[in-house]
Amino acid sequence: HEEDLYSSAPAKGFIMWEIPSWQRKGEVLRGNVGNLVFSPDGKMCVKPIEWDIYGRGVEIWSTANGAPITSLDKGARDAAFSPDGNLLATGGNDGILRLWHLTQQQVELATTPTDVVRIIYGIPKDKEPQPNIAEKLDKSIRAAQDFYAEEMERHGFDKKTFTFETDRNGKAKIYLVKDNQIYTPDLSNDAWLIVREDISGLPPEELFFVIGYGNNETFWYPAKYRVRDNIWGHEITGFTHGRAVAAPIDKNLKAKHLAYILRDAFGLPYNSPPQEPNVLKRFFFRVNNMMPWREKWERLSKCQAEWLDKNRFFNPGQPFFDKRPKIEMNVSEVDASDSRLFQFTVADADGIHQVQLLVPVDVNAKWRGMRIIDCQALDGKEKADVEFEITDPKINKVELRMIDTLGNIALRRFEIKDKTSEPPENP
């Protein structure tokens, strides 16, 4: 089922039905829908996308639970499976017919959700792995697990934590990647922890698995741009499983630092303070925060722990079908106290667990670096009005981020502009 992104009717992405009973199984909302192709065994659904967005040209989904299996980095208008389901042919406006071989691992992912952290160990092409690196990483990732469990319990939640991929012996599975090898890890699913040596010396073309090049971090819900009063709201954005975070390695990879690095993989921004304009003060503040007597930077706040309580990686096996969320905002006038009330209406048929208000770390930057200033728990409500107060009159950009009861994450960004007689034409 497809509807125009800019029509007044609510766009729904595509809906899955069970045949022949025609029972509705769920929605997969990932923007505009063109041609859909099902694998011969009915386990996978392929969605060709003509434009390559975030390295995501053709998406492959599980029909059982809506889980994203993988994506192809070339856009296409049409796709077709071979009779045995092992080959996928795609074609687009460039006039090139491409044949893709689906690995057994990808086929298995069609019915097996993972929700795990996977580890890549990257080294320069002229070096060998550190001695006992597998044991060190296994020890560190387990300690990071314990850290999250203890922090969750400290804030009154169940002692839950994330899981990571293990080998047949129950040890952390490590993917070794050298700079000169052709193999590119599939970062379109799960959370990848990329542990690197000598990051600073890498040329840009060899940073692909440090920054998660081509990984499915975001998608756009079908939405309509809307200008109301002096508020410009960007499209509603969601997050997929394809998240990559990078950590440089030293002789002893500290577990708490590793746990801190993983926050971004779980949809939490880092604890960034407001931007200090003085460079020297900013340097000493950063150094002081890293000292043993200032360990608060690595601990979870109540807001962050509450967010993780419904996060997919802390609750593996949840369905991936997602109802379309709604986020609208009104803002009060600036008064003499410089305090403004930001009022939002949020809705999600899956039930809203928590909403967070974020503002830029640097008010002069576009959207680079966001920090949480407040959050509210909504306890599964399908619709609610929430209100936040901001006292800094310089802040003219805000981001409302929310997580539903199934762990789906969505956000919408708003810019507050000076009132003019004509609304802005473009975001």
Is 60 exceeded by the pLDDT of residue 247? yes
CB atoms within 10 A of CB 343: 14
Question: Residue for token digits 């962050």?
Answer: 304
In b/e form, how buried is each residue of 181-218, taking b as 16+ CB within 10 angstroms?
eeeebbbbbbbbbbbbbeeeebeeeebbbbebebbbbb
Asked if residue 129 has pLDDT above 90, the reply is: no
Top mean pLDDT of 204-213, 305-314, 319-328 is at 305-314
Distance CA 305, CA 349 (A): 23
Give pTM, 2 decimals: 0.77
The alpha carbon of residue 34 and the mean position of all alpha carbons in its chain are separated, in whole angstroms, by: 24
Closest to 14 in 3D by CA, of 348, 350, 324:
324
Over residues 172-203, the pLDDT tens digits come to: 999 887 766 655 566 666 788 878 776 555 44
- Of the ranges 344-353, 368-377, 384-393, the best mean pLDDT one: 344-353
Confidence of residue 205 (pLDDT cuts 50, 70, 90): very low
pLDDT at 34: 67
Q: Is 109 helix (H, G, I), strand (E, B) or coil?
A: helix
Residue 250 pLDDT > 80, yes or no? no
